[in-house]
Structure 1
């Protein structure tokens, strides 16, 4: 599920041109320097999940460890980023599906929206009727996708290319990012590549042995997609020139890569990988946003009906229905932004700002929650303290630096969507929601003398504050 959430083929197909525009040949370095702090955030999710099994994930953790208002902001950041992604994900789904039949059709924004909407509705139905069916579909789609990327990525490296000669500077990037601002822009795009692995945290209430498996899934997911990203991005540098990558009229990058390894059939196979990846990540993103809304509704920080699960399927049916309706409206209105390429660029940067918010808050929350245990051992200090904190600082840096450099449209989408969350927060706080009351059970790891941050199972436990509505343990 973590691999599907990060959607390696989709991320490479939709975002490589944006990343290359920001980082050029040192795009692999941007991915590396984002992967290191991102892994720190994955450690944070791992250990916060051991203290609190909650479908809201960062919403619940940040609210209980730091402050309820910050928790709501973290949850809302995920909700709006995931909702915007329904457009950013569905457009390539339509575009690449159309390209399998006629390359000219893929340039039609309305056609891409229509086909993408159909794919999205099919995925929404799967998510609605149960997590078991969803995960079985993910095994198939993501398994095929990963095999294709590994085979063609390694094949492209072996084949080589004439566009550029490999340089170790591609992996380090020092002095090639164009200063602090250039590095921040490239790293924000790289953060979008990785985003989605944390779906395992939102599935914690539906996962067996979730205190171990949810966090472990996220860690494995970050490492796995990083390896795939690096292999394919280096191959793209070797085979496709920077000019061709930047040209909106050139053939899709992964199609060119596939045809280089296997002329004729290779391009179609890579397109298939992208379609499978896009559908898979639409599914996991819908899971994330619907589970977050479910937890918020259960806590009465948004209308309580969001916190109701279907009596038969044990899924948050109302949250799913609302997200689907809003997304369909966004599909139609998104064409006002222009071409598919323009929509993708604005959406990627806006989502990058939003995910930086809740990742940074989660990184701080784990340090606060484990503050009395973090110095019990060297491993605790690294994996529950310094690494997550460094990840939080990095995400905060990306947010601040890019707020000062991105264009007005991106800022309006990114920060405007976040600001909308102030309305329900103020309303339910003023209405006396129990979530905002002082005295709520805090997330505080003080009930154990020792936590083995590397291998051990935490024995920490805190009182549950969740109401009766829950999601079935099904995975």
Structure 2
């Protein structure tokens, strides 16, 4: 979808490899492990590897939903557009708003560890200083803000460097973990079963946190208007990204169970990966994994900025938010107003976060709140693909399973996790998660009453879209070339 009211985003800036890198970076393997492992262990104990394993299955269903929907609607708003055109515009806006709020909260949840990890390279005691961590983290955030403002090509070049070093270090320590001796406890296959969960509610709590681990791969869909052959590339990159980060998550979560004692995990809740590195390679290991986490955190700040600014750009373009958010810079082809607004709001939140407690306290509540919001927009997207492809599902077994049953099960799982978790979370996490979603009712109703065309959508129907909308010739014909190689019964 182009920007009909002005300049559009930088079309064709990213290739397949670029988008795969962005998908992996979006899930932030090292950051997720460092910031979330203690929270996950606190919720489910030794069942941490199982929580990640069983959350992978529905998450792949959601990734398939993104893949199928991106084939028929290229839009920087992704689920904001898809859900609005299939289920209802109000639900579509809620999907986009959930991403915006969760990403904005993450600016704090991500920048604080970036600051503390940077300080830990010089003096471990400085990493516990929330105020100083906030200042350093804000510095990294502003730098990434400028990179994102500079355009998609600059963004992916920076990402290749940061993620390349991060993944190389993680691969090295994965090997060291396999070769390590003198462990705290022996590996047990029961860690991958259901026996260690504290009932159904315990499993739901673990799944909610696991959803946060995986979150971020869908940045590829928000970059669809800037990606070559995006109708195939964005979905494929998302699926590859989920697979890569799952392997890393499982290896390191099992390594934490094996190598570290419960006391070590809880005593270093904001820095678990550094403690693991020190155990695996005394002297150098801790600092190297701190570097990995620092790069991962900074890299995922970049991809999160991409997600929130592209979502706000799509909303501004549709006039479901202030139209200025849909403006594109003449030189860099980036939504500079959206970038500026996000930067200002996030920096204000950095200052406010100092009143909320330690880095560990802030992370725990933010992760759970973000998990609630992720469940909403992922779940709605899983339902959207079933509605969009409803007339195609019986065309083949692949369509029925990959475009229907699997995404539907993923959606139902996300909604179940959302409901079950409400009874287990801290009041602060619920207030942030639900309150953030509820705040979206104000702009939604305001712009609905003002008559935004978004609230009178052309319904998204895969059968009609492929057969009628994408015909040879003109812009539609160019878009249709994205369907080369797809099943002929489309």
Q: TM-score range by the shorter chain?
A: over 0.9
Would the aligned equivalents of 1:63 and 1:72 in 2 still touch at CA under 8 Å? yes
Alignment of 1:321 onto 2:340:
yes
Which deviates further from its counterpart, 160-169 or 23-32?
Answer: 160-169
Extract unaligned runs of 5+ from structure 1.
462-475
Match of 1:302 in 2: 321
Match of 1:441 in 2: 458
**In the TM superposition, what is the alpha-carbon distance from 1:161 to its structure 2 partner?**
3.8
Would the aligned equivalents of 1:156 and 1:260 in 2 still touch at CA under 8 Å? no
Q: 2:286 is paired with a residue of what secondary structure? A: helix
Match of 2:439 in 1: 420
Please point out which of 229, 243, 266 is paired with 1:246.
266
Q: Which deviations, in whole Å up to 9, do the C-alpha atoms of 1:177-197 show, x marking residues without a partner?
A: 100110010110010000000
Would the aligned equivalents of 2:61 and 2:410 in 1 still touch at CA under 8 Å? yes
Superposed, which structure 2 residues align to 1:121-270 within 5 Å?
121-172=142-193, 174-248=194-268, 252-270=271-289
Q: Which deviations, in whole Å up to 9, do the C-alpha atoms of 1:217-239 show, x marking residues without a partner?
A: 10000000000000111111111
2: CA distance, partners of 1:405 / 1:217: 34
Alignment of 1:60 onto 2:81:
yes
Match of 1:110 in 2: 131
TM-score by length of 2: 0.90
Would the aligned equivalents of 1:156 and 1:257 in 2 still touch at CA under 8 Å? no
Please point out which of 309, 320, 325 is paired with 1:290.
309
Distance 1:18 1:382, change over 3 A: same
Q: Which deviations, in whole Å up to 9, do the C-alpha atoms of 1:287-333 show, x marking residues without a partner?
A: 00000000000001011000111111000000010000000010010
Q: Which deviations, in whole Å up to 9, do the C-alpha atoms of 1:82-116 show, x marking residues without a partner?
A: 00000000000000000000011101000000000
Please point out which of 366, 384, 389 is paired with 1:347.
366
**In the TM superposition, what is the alpha-carbon distance from 1:459 to its structure 2 partner?**
7.6
Alignment of 1:13 onto 2:34:
yes
TM-score by length of 1: 0.93
Q: 2:458 is paired with a residue of what secondary structure? A: coil
**In the TM superposition, what is the alpha-carbon distance from 1:455 to its structure 2 partner?**
10
2: CA distance, partners of 1:187 / 1:153: 24
**In the TM superposition, what is the alpha-carbon distance from 1:262 to its structure 2 partner?**
2.1
Would the aligned equivalents of 2:270 and 2:359 in 1 still touch at CA under 8 Å? no
Match of 1:468 in 2: none
Q: Which deviations, in whole Å up to 9, do the C-alpha atoms of 1:259-305 show, x marking residues without a partner?
A: 23322111111010001000000000000000000000000101100
Match of 2:43 in 1: 22
2: CA distance, partners of 1:113 / 1:460: 54
CA RMSD of aligned residues (A): 1.6
2: CA distance, partners of 1:217 / 1:254: 27
Match of 1:372 in 2: 391
**In the TM superposition, what is the alpha-carbon distance from 1:353 to its structure 2 partner?**
0.2
Q: Which deviations, in whole Å up to 9, do the C-alpha atoms of 1:158-188 show, x marking residues without a partner?
A: 214421111101122x121100110010110
1: CA distance, partners of 2:47 / 2:123: 33
Count matched residues. Answer: 453
**In the TM superposition, what is the alpha-carbon distance from 1:456 to its structure 2 partner?**
4.3
Match of 2:378 in 1: 359
1: CA distance, partners of 2:190 / 2:330: 56
**In the TM superposition, what is the alpha-carbon distance from 1:145 to its structure 2 partner?**
0.7
1: CA distance, partners of 2:254 / 2:381: 31
1: CA distance, partners of 2:185 / 2:270: 18
2: CA distance, partners of 1:226 / 1:127: 27
**In the TM superposition, what is the alpha-carbon distance from 1:256 to its structure 2 partner?**
2.2
2: CA distance, partners of 1:265 / 1:433: 57
Would the aligned equivalents of 1:154 and 1:231 in 2 still touch at CA under 8 Å? no
2: CA distance, partners of 1:381 / 1:288: 30
1: CA distance, partners of 2:293 / 2:318: 37
Match of 1:71 in 2: 92
Please point out which of 408, 418, 432 is paired with 1:399.
418
Q: Which deviations, in whole Å up to 9, do the C-alpha atoms of 1:447-467 show, x marking residues without a partner?
A: 358xxxx99426899xxxxxx
2: CA distance, partners of 1:458 / 1:99: 52
Distance 1:25 1:188, change over 3 A: same
Q: Which deviations, in whole Å up to 9, do the C-alpha atoms of 1:393-429 show, x marking residues without a partner?
A: 0100111111222121111100101111000000011
2: CA distance, partners of 1:263 / 1:101: 17
2: CA distance, partners of 1:130 / 1:62: 27
Q: 2:363 is paired with a residue of what secondary structure? A: helix
**In the TM superposition, what is the alpha-carbon distance from 1:13 to its structure 2 partner?**
0.4
Q: Which deviations, in whole Å up to 9, do the C-alpha atoms of 1:357-403 show, x marking residues without a partner?
A: 00000000000000011111111111001110010001001111112
